[in-house]
Structure 1
């Protein structure tokens, strides 16, 4: 279970690694379910025999967007919870790069560095993470990105000095 942190202490963590998630196995069942959900059934994801014969990957690979979507679970797994938070909202991604394909059966984990924390309005905090999804036993990561979220909180909980 991730630790907790108070709003008043967030600024001190800027530039620090906040957490590394547990390993998540990206198996063929997960890939197939993602293909069904997104209607992206390209053979490099869903046909192990053809992917082994016709690609340099030796089998199927996960959709890049599947790997990206795992960031939510990875975040919940390791990022400290803000005590005063009432809701979190995805704001978006910048500089998403899919660097190394994730082969079916591989394990991945997320690494989160707090790049920025900026108070907006009376009850919002914008948080930007530099995220890396690592693949077990691979030199290069699956992806890197800048992920911005908005943390909402009751305005009465806003630290006085920000």
Structure 2
């Protein structure tokens, strides 16, 4: 029992940590969207930086004038997403190994200063039964929801 929880937590921590690395640990909050549904694995991430909600490719928009710019090159972003998707695959393998239900959706929020970590899981189909929506749509809706809720 304990081993499953520990390994599950480690994989979530790895997703947060790789997103922190992307912004050189300079963020107030990190948001990770991880999805695994009907053999489709997807992830997205965004941040709260200087009281501004920004998607990963827009993090420099949140910086103050004198702040050092982030490297938001497409290669770097793909590297992060690839690592996150590998982590989601590892979660899937872990769940199978321990005969646990695999979450179809994980929303992870990490508050940098307090070290507070919050995770929200869903186990029902979120988008594969929708004619239009993809995991990307759901992640974008969450971004907008967080942004609007905290204005």
Is TM more than 0.5 here? no
Q: What TM-score, normalized to structure 1?
A: 0.28
Bigger helix share: 2
Bigger strand share: 1
Q: What TM-score, normalized to structure 2?
A: 0.29
Looking at CA atoms only, which structure, 1 or 2, has the larger radius of gyration?
Answer: 1
